[in-house]
C-alpha cells in the first residue's frame, strides 16, 4: 500500500491554504497534516507533525518565512521546504535556497510565459497593469488578497452585485446570500479569459512584466540576474 507523505502548509491567507489543501489531498502520495498562518505556528506544527514537506510563504502576518527557514536549518531539520514566493527577483530565490530551501516557486514572472496555460486575456491584464493597479482586496469572507484592479474589480466598486449560483461551497464562513461575488467562479472566469467577470490575483511586482517570453528565455534572464547579484 502506498504511504502518503505528510505536508504542512504555511501561509497567512486562509482561502489560499484551503485551495492548496484541496489540491494536495487529491494526490494519492500526499496528505496535509497541519496548516499555519504565522512563523511561530509553523515551527510548532513542524515540530509536532514531523512532515516530509513544508509549503512555506515568505510573507506571513506574524513572523517571516525566511526566519522559519533559518530556524529549521540551524536545528539541522531533515524536512524539505518549498518556498511559495510573491517575489519576482532572482536574488530572493537565491537567498531562500542559501537559507536551506529545497526549492522556490516564483509564480508572478511565470504567468507571462508562452507555456503558462491561463488565457491570453489574463496575461494581458498583467502586461497592462500599472503599479497603482496592484491593490489589496477583501474576499467575500473578508480575507485579504493582492489583485489587479481590472474591469471586474472596478465594476464591484460601483456596488455591482454578481448573481451567485455557487457550486463550490469552499468555505463554510461564506454567506452566499450576502456575498457580492463568488471568488472561486471569478478566479475560474479569469483563467478562462472572461475578464469582465474575472478576478486576477498577482504578486506585488506584477506591474513590472512587459512581455511574453518562453520559460527557457525566462530562466536565461534569472540566471543572468543571479550571476550579476
C-alpha to C-alpha distances, 77 to 52, 56, 71, nearest whole angstrom = 10, 15, 9
* 56 three-state secondary structure: strand
Secondary structure of 75-115 in the HEC alphabet?
CCCCCEEEEEECCCCHHHHHHHHHCCCCEEEEHHHHHCECC
pLDDT the model gives residue 76: 66
Contact present, 129 and 206 (Cβ < 8 Å): yes
Q: Which H or E run contains 134?
A: strand 134-138
pLDDT, the chain, mean: 89
As annotated, the residues of the chain forming the CATH 3.40.50.2300 domain(s) are 5-110
Rg value, the chain, Cα: 19
pLDDT the model gives residue 156: 92
Domain 5-110 has CATH 3.40.50.2300: yes
- Arithmetic mean of pLDDT, 184-197: 94
Task: Note the pLDDT tens digit of each residue in 54-112.
Answer: 999 988 878 888 899 989 887 767 899 999 876 677 887 888 888 889 998 888 999 99
Question: Residue 199 — pLDDT band, cuts 50, 70, 90?
Answer: very high
Please tell me the distance from the alpha carbon of residue 51 to that of residue 165, in angstroms, as a whole number: 38
Closest listed residue to residue 187, CA positions, set 105, 113, 125, 109: 125
Whether the per-residue pLDDT at 27 is higher than 60: the answer is yes
Q: What is the pTM of this model?
A: 0.76
pLDDT the model gives residue 86: 66
- Arithmetic mean of pLDDT, 12-30: 87
Amino acid at each position: 500500500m502506498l504511504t502518503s507523505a505528510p505536508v504542512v502548509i504555511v501561509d497567512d491567507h486562509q482561502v489560499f491554504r484551503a485551495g492548496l489543501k484541496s489540491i494536495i489531498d487529491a494526490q494519492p502520495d500526499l496528505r496535509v497534516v497541519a496548516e499555519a498562518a504565522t512563523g511561530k505556528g509553523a515551527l510548532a506544527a513542524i515540530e509536532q507533525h514531523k512532515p516530509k514537506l513544508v509549503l512555506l510563504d515568505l510573507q506571513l502576518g506574524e513572523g517571516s518565512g525566511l526566519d522559519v527557514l533559518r530556524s529549521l536549518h540551524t536545528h539541522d531539520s531533515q524536512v524539505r521546504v518549498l518556498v511559495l514566493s510573491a517575489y519576482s527577483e532572482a536574488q530572493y530565490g537565491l537567498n531562500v535556497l542559501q537559507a536551506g530551501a529545497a526549492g522556490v516557486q516564483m509564480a508572478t514572472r511565470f504567468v507571462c510565459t508562452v507555456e503558462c496555460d491561463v488565457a491570453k486575456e489574463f496575461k494581458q491584464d498583467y502586461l497592462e497593469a500599472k503599479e497603482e493597479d496592484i491593490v489589496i482586496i477583501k474576499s467575500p469572507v473578508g480575507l485579504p488578497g493582492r489583485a489587479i484592479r481590472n474591469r471586474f474589480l472596478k465594476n464591484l466598486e460601483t456596488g455591482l452585485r454578481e448573481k451567485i449560483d455557487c457550486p463550490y461551497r469552499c468555505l463554510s464562513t461564506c454567506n452566499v446570500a450576502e456575498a457580492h461575488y463568488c471568488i472561486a467562479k471569478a478566479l475560474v472566469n479569469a483563467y478562462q479569459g472572461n475578464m469582465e467577470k474575472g478576478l486576477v490575483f498577482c504578486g506585488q511586482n506584477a506591474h513590472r512584466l512587459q512581455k511574453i517570453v518562453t520559460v527557457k528565455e525566462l530562466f536565461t534572464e534569472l540566471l543572468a540576474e543571479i550571476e550579476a547579484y
